[in-house]
Structure formats: C-alpha cells, structure tokens
Amino acid sequence: MGISLDTLTAAQIAAGVAAGKFTATEVARAALSAIETREADVQAFLQVTPELALEAAARIDVARAAGESLPPLAGVPLAIKDNMNLAGTRTTCASRMLENYESPYTATCVRRMLDAGCLPVGKANMDEFAFGSSTESSAFHRTNNPWDLERVPGGSSGGSAAAVAAGMTALALGSDTGGSIRQPAALCGVVGMKPTYGVVSRYGVVAFGSSLDQVGPFGRTVEDVALALDALTAGGRDPFDGTSQEAEGGFAAHIDDDIAGLRVGVIPAFMEAEGLAPEVKAAVEGALRTLEAQGAKLVEVD
C-alpha cells in the first residue's frame, strides 16, 4: 500500500507496523522518498541517513516476523537536531568548525528514541550552535517554512519542526533553551514541547546554556508528542547526566484528562507588545477562550 507521512501520525504508523498493515521498511522508504522530493525546497536536513533508517527498519521487520513484541514507536521515522550525537553520523551544530566531527557515541535521548523503535532518517538543520531563532544562521544553508518557502520556520530547532511539518518525518527531536522548540513548533504549525528541566537527559547534547537546555519532541499531534516523551523518559534517571531526574512517565495515558482547575499563566504585557501581529494575538486569545471553556483558570502574571 502507498504510505504518506502527510496523513499518518506516529501513533498510527506504530500501530500499522505492529498489525502488519505495512512494514517498517516501507515506512522508511516512504520517509526517504518524501525527503528526496521536498528537501530541495525546505532544506530541513544537514545529513540524511538512509542506511541507518533502513537497518533499523529491517531489525523491526525481522522481530515482527519472529513473533516478538515490538517497541512502542516501532517503525516511526525520526529526525534529530544536529546538536545531538548519533554514532555513525556527523554532529556539526550547523557550524563549519564541526563540519567533519564524527559522533563518538549516541546521546541518551537519541538512544531512548531508537530503543523505542524509531528510524533515524537524518540530522536536522539548526541555527549555528543554537544561537538564533530563525534557522538562518546555519553555516550551511537556511531552512524554509514548508507552508511558505519565503518565510522562516523559527529556530533554533527550525529544521526539526520543518521536517515534521513537511511530512518528511513523523517525529523529531529539538532542544529548547529560551524557546527553540516552542517557537518553531508555533511557526510551522506542529506540536512541540519543552519538558521540565531534568526530565530528559542532556548527555550527548552539545550545550548552549546548561542550566536551561532541555531536549523535547516535535510531532503532528499531542498524542505523538506524549508517546515520544514516554520514550524519552523510559529507563528513568540517566546516571551520565547529574541534573537528570526521575519522571513519572505515562504521558500518553493522560492526554484525555480533564483540565478543569488547571491554571494557565497569561502575561498581559506580551499581549500588547509592539509588533505583535493581529492574527497571532487573535489565535492566542482564541486558545485562551478554548482553555477557559474547558475549565482552566486564566491567571495574569508579570
């Protein structure tokens, strides 16, 4: 059957592979085909890794054929921000200084996604050393917003967000110091989350601001991001990261929980800031009304 990452979520891909509707290899080839078709316009990647993706897919297909239970994200394509080490790839941080730097090991966050069954399709573009918010400061090339190639995707994790938005991958990892996951997720129309500090290991991630950096996932849906967070926190605290902590996990199990009584902070000064586009303000106000209608309490904060 024809597979399109434009219409399939990560949850649907994993379920389809587990049920035998399609193989992980078919998914990998669909992702690589989408990259081949769209990457010239979007420029979301610094390195595409077909060998690694197809090898991971083959292992999953062999396991399923043998009747083994599959990991929760089996067969889901994954893009990895290029400040995260993955053995067998370069980790350049979008800088000429690290252009030929070969990853000597795999970051814990990447390893946990691979253990969950993800297929590594490539390393995503970023602002150089994560300094930037538009993915225009990459030393190699800018990344374009898939919805309008004349606009930026945000940053510094713009390549990761654009890869998901363009249907080239179902999940992506980014890092967020001061908005580098949340802002490109907003600009590209995907879901992104910066977890609480210490929930996800930073071991193997090139630092920007160590006391603020945190790795988090991009996906097309809240469910996909929750499943990714479950994978990132599986195994508990990482002994290689002194700031990591135990996480309760079970994020996907709570996506339909009632939000009545939860507090949502609103910063009035931001809503009246000079340069705030009217359509952005309207979208935020609409989201606040929706949250309030579902029982959340809006609280003004300074």
Q: In this structure, are residues 265 and 301 in contact, taking their beta carbons and an 8 Å threshold?
A: yes
Query: Which of 103, 134, 137, 156 is the catalytic position?
Result: 156
Q: What's the 3-state SS for the chain?
A: CCCCCCCCCHHHHHHHHHHCCCCHHHHHHHHHHHHHHHHHHHCCEEEECHHHHHHHHHHHHHHHHCCCCCCCCCCCEEEEECCECCCCCECCCCCHHHCCCECCCCCHHHHHHHHCCCEEEEEECCCHHHCCCCCCCCCCCCCCECCECCCCCCCCCHHHHHHHHCCCCCEEEEEECCCCCHHHHHHHCCEECCCCCCCCCCCCECCCCCCCCEEEEEECCHHHHHHHHHHHHCCCCCCCCCCCCCCCCCCHHHCCCCCCCCEEEECHHHHCCCCCCHHHHHHHHHHHHHHHHCCCEEEECC
Annotation marks residue 21 as catalytic = no
Q: Which one of the listed residues 134, 180, 201, 244 is annotated catalytic? A: 180
Residue 180 designated active-site: yes
CA gap 228, 218 in Å, rounded: 8
Based on the residue annotation, tell me whether 194 is a catalytic residue of this protein: no
**Separation CA 25–CA 34 (nearest Å):** 14
Q: Is the peptide bond before 156 cis (omega within 30 degrees of 0)?
A: yes
Residues paired with residue 175 on neighbouring β-strands, in sequence order: 215
Q: Which of 195, 196, 205, 193 is nearest to 240 (CA)?
A: 205
CA distance 238 to 250: 18
Which of 81, 134, 137, 138 is flagged as catalytic? Answer: 81
Give me the active site residues, please.
81, 156, 180
